[in-house]
Every structure is written in C-alpha cells, then in structure tokens.
C-alpha cells in the first residue's frame, strides 16, 4: 500500500488530497484540506501574481506539507493551473515554493489540464457521449467526447475569479454584471467552431467547485435526500430558477444562502452566468454534475497507469471491487453470492418479470451486502444500506444506488421502515418497493447457499411447477448447512412470489 498527496494549486483555491493506493489498481481518498488563496485575483492588470496572494499560498502549502508529513505520505504530486500558467513571475514563485516548502510544482499546460479533467470524468461516469464544462478560477475548459474517446477540447483563459474581476463595476447592478458576463461568454462560444458539430444526443457534465455549490443549493431547494454530488442531474429549468434568484442579490445576501460557501459567494454569480450562457447556447435541457475532475484524473493515472492509454471499461465493476477490497470483505464469498444471485434472477424471471436494469441493482446489493459488518455484525444489513447510500460508486444513477441499498438492507429479513422509504419518494417509483423486497429475498437465498463461505453449492437449476419452485443444487461436498439456511426464506419467498420453495 502506498500513500500519496495530490496538491492542486488553482486560481481560486489550493487543495491537498491524501490518497491510499492499494490492491493492484485501486485507491481511496482518506483525507483532504482546502484553502481559498485567490492566487489569480487582480492578475488581469499586469499579469503578475500579487505578493499578498503569493505569501498566502506559501503559508497554505507549508500547512499542507505538515499534514502530509504527519499522515506519512510517501510522495507528493503537486500541479498548478491557469493563474500560475499565465503568471509573468511564474519561475520565481515556483522556486520560492521549492525552497520554502520542499514541494516541486508542475505547471500543467491547457491540454494536460483538460485531459486530466476528462480522465477523472470518463473513468467515473457511465456517459458514453458528453460535453464537459469545467469552470475553474482562472480558466474554463470545454471537452467533447464520444464513445469514450476525447474528440475536441478548448480552454478559455478566464474563470470565475477572472470574470468577476473583469466585470467589477460599481455602476452596474449585480444583475447587469451577470448579463454582461453571459453576453461575453456567449461571444467566446460562438468562436469555437467544433461546438457546432457536437452530437445533439451528447449530455452535458459539469465539473468544479461552482457546480458543487449548485448541487448544494439545489439540494436545499428540492430537499434532496442524498448527499452524493457525483451523478446528480439537474434540469436546466431548475438551474435557471436558482440563477435568477442569486444574480440579483448583493454580496451580503448571497452569503446568507444555505449551500453557498462564504469563500465562493462573490465569484459564484460569474460561474452561474457561464453555465447559463453555455446551456442556452448548446440547447441543453439538463446537466449532470461530476464530483470527479482533475485530481481524480491524477488518482486514476497513479493507481491504474493503463488509464493513460484508455479508460476503464467496466466502471461500476471497478468501483465495486475497490469497496470490497477497502472494506476487506471475503472476496471469494462475494463473488459466489453475486454469481448465485444472477442465476436465481435469470431462472426466476418468469415469476418476477423484472427488466434487465434490476439485475444491475441486484449485483450491487449482492457485492456489498456484508459491508455493514465493518461497523457491527448484528443487524449489519442496516449498516450495509447506509454504507451503500453514502459510498463512492461509479457508473450508477442515484435511483439505482438507493434501490441497491434497500435491497441489501432487507436481505436478512423484510425490514423496510415506511418512513425510510418515503424519504426517497422523489427518486423511486411506487412499484419499486415490491421489487426491492423480491430482490432482497433472492439475495437472502443466494447468501444462504454459500453460508459456509466454501463454494459448496456450484450452481442452481430452478423448476417452476404448479404452486412450487423446486431449486436443484449442484454441490461438491455436504451442503446441508446451506440448504437448511436457505429454506428459512421460505415464508418470505411464498409471500412475495406466491410459490412454495423447495431446495434439493
């Protein structure tokens, strides 16, 4: 196991993320610290990083180094983006960091930065065709990809900090400033020829701190039940309502809005104006927020060097495997329970009639059904439910995540509190509750059929005959423990499938 520190020195903020690399190609974030340094502020006049900003950044990096050392980080990867890239005093700034902090910073080119953002997104989202909009403090990246191949990218030399500085005018109201930024950004978009060739089916993906703030505000407005920013989808109509509310407010009132971080309140309107101009120019009806970006692009490259050449093919499978290893689950048992669950799902399709999408939900629940044991064995299914709901899973929608969590949560017994289910009423359908309970029974039987964690039962053949389902097991050795335990699910099986269960 190796521990690395990733420092991202942006135009608005500096961030240290501490990451553990483990298990041949997997990683997990174990600590993070962020400071607002506003390195790119007031640069537009002469192109120099200002002494006050440099001093604040040096203090922040010394603090980061102290935390990295205390965390026993093996190595630090530090990168800088737009502000440092454009600074006329770049060399002296980097030399001072090296001398005072012992940190060597690599200044990313526009293409390198855009590529890392793309890798962070493409290895964590199951969106085969998309347009990524990443709004930084000092630059805005637009990346177009199709069939998981990056086709075009453009980096515009302004972001939330620089746009706020450019259009700072005491004679304009906050709303007028926002409209000026919209107009300016739309002109920039018109000059990007390849944008007119983007496939109409491409989905918009938002990356960066401003999109995370949009999620927080929208979460408050919608009373959204999940804290997962990654894969959060927002209709443009709902975004427009947020934008219209914020763009007319003065700074003090913006700071009082729940969801807006105080350090970003002054620059958020500029970022929102960029989003407004982009969605209108591209005619997007909704967009999805990615919690993964440049830093995660570095993480993937470090943990899995193959991602330098091509993206991960099975995003969901990769992230499930990461969690299984991180939670130290019994990998052989997990694999066997998943396999038996899939067999049961397919052979009982004549009874449950679920579409294929539910198989994906069952696989997630089967893979992580025992992760709650890391908290406590007793009632571990409830802990598994909570852990799945709050996990970092890629390639799965929020609705699928909720359903998988509830399947895992009821796989020991039918145990779904109406109040818990009602909390997610805006994400799930009415018929999903019965589906979850049926999948929970399937998972319970599959888990029981490997009760000894020995793989004794190799396969299952189900016959639906009259009022009974006869499960014939293919065994190697004594399977009496497994069959007896699985038969304890008979009452629930009969309740939900309206058939008696026999296991031979």
Q: How far apart are CA 207 and CA 104, in angstroms?
A: 26
Residue 387 lies in a domain: yes
- Tell which residue, 107, 142, 123, 98, has the closest CA to residue 10: 107
Sign of the alpha-carbon dihedral angle for 473, 476, 480, 484: negative
List all residues 6 or more positions away from 126 whose beta carbon is below 8 Å from its beta carbon: 315, 316, 394, 395, 396
Mean pLDDT is lowest, of 137-141, 169-173, 266-270, 391-395, for 169-173
pLDDT for position 249:
86
Does residue 290 share a domain with residue 186? yes
> What burial class does residue 4 get, using C-beta atoms within 10 Å of its C-beta: 0-12 exposed, 13-18 middle, 19+ buried?
buried
Query: pLDDT-derived band of residue 257, with 50, 70 and 90 as boundaries?
Result: confident
Q: 105: helix, coil or strand? A: strand
- Mean pLDDT confidence for 245-264: 81
- pLDDT greater than 70 at residue 146: yes
For the beta carbon of residue 376, count every other beta carbon within 10 angstroms.
10
Q: How far apart are CA 169 and CA 417, in angstroms?
A: 55
- pLDDT greater than 90 at residue 251: no
Angstrom distances, CA of residue 129 to CA of 184, 203, 209, 235, 292: 27, 6, 23, 18, 17
- Mean pLDDT confidence for 461-467: 93
Residue 18 lies in a domain: yes
Residue 252 lies in a domain: yes
Radius of gyration of the chain (CA): 26
Does residue 117 share a domain with residue 102? no
Of 429, 452, 475, which residue sits at a domain end? 452
Does residue 97 share a domain with residue 12? yes
Does residue 263 share a domain with residue 139? yes
Expressed in percent and rounded to 5, the helix, strand and coil fractions of the chain are: 50, 20, 30
- Mean pLDDT confidence for 363-387: 94
- Tell which residue, 370, 384, 198, 168, has the closest CA to residue 278: 198
Query: pLDDT-derived band of residue 58, with 50, 70 and 90 as boundaries?
Result: very high
Residue 464 lies in a domain: no
Residue 501 lies in a domain: no
- Mean pLDDT confidence for 283-303: 97
pLDDT for position 415:
76
Residue 309 lies in a domain: no
Which tens digit of pLDDT belongs to each residue from 147-167?
A: 999 999 999 999 999 999 888
The CATH number covering residue 146 comes to 3.30.420.150
Does residue 147 share a domain with residue 285? yes
Percent above pLDDT 90 for the chain: 88
Does residue 185 share a domain with residue 79? no
Mean pLDDT is lowest, of 102-106, 185-189, 274-278, 412-416, for 412-416
Question: What's the total number of domains in the chain?
Answer: 3
Query: pLDDT-derived band of residue 169, with 50, 70 and 90 as boundaries?
Result: confident
- Mean pLDDT confidence for 325-354: 96
- Mean pLDDT confidence for 202-231: 95
Residue 488 lies in a domain: no
Q: Answer with the residue of higher pLDDT: 86 or 23.
A: 86
Does residue 192 share a domain with residue 86? no
What's the whole-number average pLDDT of the chain? 94
pLDDT for position 172:
84
Q: How far apart are CA 462 and CA 65, in angstroms?
A: 60
Of 59, 88, 108, which residue sits at a domain end? 108
- Mean pLDDT confidence for 143-149: 95
For the beta carbon of residue 427, count every other beta carbon within 10 angstroms.
17
- Mean pLDDT confidence for 398-420: 91
Does residue 291 share a domain with residue 216? yes
Edge-to-edge, what's the strand order for the sheet holding 140-146?
149-156, 140-146, 129-135, 203-207, 286-290, 232-235
Q: How far apart are CA 458 and CA 461, in angstroms?
A: 11
Residue 259 lies in a domain: yes
Does residue 373 share a domain with residue 262? no
Query: pLDDT-derived band of residue 67, with 50, 70 and 90 as boundaries?
Result: very high
- pLDDT greater than 80 at residue 50: yes
Of 261, 295, 329, which residue sits at a domain end? 295
The CATH number covering residue 341 comes to 1.10.3210.10
- pLDDT greater than 90 at residue 265: no
The CATH number covering residue 83 comes to 3.30.420.40
pTM, full prediction: 0.94
Q: Whole domain around residue 398: which residue ranges?
A: 316-452
- pLDDT greater than 80 at residue 414: no
- Mean pLDDT confidence for 444-454: 96
pLDDT for position 170:
67
Does residue 264 share a domain with residue 123? yes
Does residue 266 share a domain with residue 172? yes
For the beta carbon of residue 80, count every other beta carbon within 10 angstroms.
25
- pLDDT greater than 70 at residue 282: yes
Q: 214: helix, coil or strand? A: helix
Does residue 129 share a domain with residue 15? no
């Amino acid at each position: 196991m190796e521990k690395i520190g990733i420092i991202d020195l942006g135009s608005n903020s500096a961030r240290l993320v501490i990451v553990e690399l483990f298990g041949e190609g997997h990683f997990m974030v174990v600590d993070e610290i962020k400071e607002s340094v506003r390195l790119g502020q007031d640069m537009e006049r002469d192109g120099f990083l200002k002494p006050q900003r440099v001093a604040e950044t040096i203090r922040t990096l010394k603090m980061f180094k102290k935390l990295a050392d205390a965390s026993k980080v093996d190595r630090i990867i530090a990168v800088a983006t737009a502000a440092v890239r454009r600074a006329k005093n770049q060399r002296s700034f980097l030399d001072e960091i090296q001398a005072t902090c012992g940190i060597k910073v690599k200044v990313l080119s526009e293409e390198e930065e855009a590529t890392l953002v793309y890798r962070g997104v493409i290895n964590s989202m199951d969106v085969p065709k998309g347009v990524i909009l990443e709004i930084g403090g000092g630059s805005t990246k637009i990346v177009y990809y199709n069939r998981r191949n990056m086709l075009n990218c453009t980096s515009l030399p302004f972001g939330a900090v620089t746009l706020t500085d450019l259009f700072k005018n005491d004679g304009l109201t906050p709303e007028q400033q926002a409209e000026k930024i919209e107009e300016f950004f739309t002109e920039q978009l018109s000059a990007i020829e390849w944008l007119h060739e983007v496939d109409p089916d491409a989905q918009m993906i938002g990356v960066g701190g401003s999109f995370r703030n949009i999620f927080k505000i929208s979460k408050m407005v919608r009373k959204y039940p999940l804290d997962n920013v990654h894969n959060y989808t927002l209709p443009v109509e709902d975004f427009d309502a947020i934008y219209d509310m914020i763009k007319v407010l003065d700074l003090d009132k913006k700071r009082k809005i729940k969801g807006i971080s105080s350090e970003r309140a002054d620059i958020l309107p500029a970022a929102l104006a960029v989003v407004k101009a982009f969605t209108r120019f591209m005619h997007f009806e909704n967009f999805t927020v990615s919690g993964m970006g440049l830093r995660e692009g570095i993480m993937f490259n470090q943990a899995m060097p193959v991602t330098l050449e091509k993206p991960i093919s099975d995003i969901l499978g990769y992230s499930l495997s990461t969690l299984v290893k991180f939670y130290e689950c019994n990998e052989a048992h997990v694999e066997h329970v998943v396999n038996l669950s899939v067999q049961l799902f397919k052979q009982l399709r004549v009874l449950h009639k679920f579409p294929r999408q539910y198989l994906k939900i069952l696989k997630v629940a089967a893979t992580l059904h025992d992760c709650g044991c890391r908290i406590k064995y007793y009632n571990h299914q409830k802990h598994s439910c909570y852990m799945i709901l709050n996990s970092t899973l890629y390639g799965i929608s929020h609705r699928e995540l909720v359903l998988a969590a509830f399947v895992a949560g009821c796989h020991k017994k039918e145990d779904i509190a109406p109040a818990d289910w009602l909390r997610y009423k805006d994400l799930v359908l009415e018929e999903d509750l019965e589906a979850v309970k049926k999948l929970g029974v399937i998972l319970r039987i599959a888990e029981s059929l490997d009760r000894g964690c020995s793989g004794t039962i190799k396969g299952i053949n189900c016959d639906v005959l009259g009022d009974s389902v006869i499960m014939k097991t293919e065994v190697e050795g004594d399977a009496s423990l497994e069959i007896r335990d699985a038969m304890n699910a008979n009452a629930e099986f009969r309740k939900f499938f309206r058939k008696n269960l026999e296991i031979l």
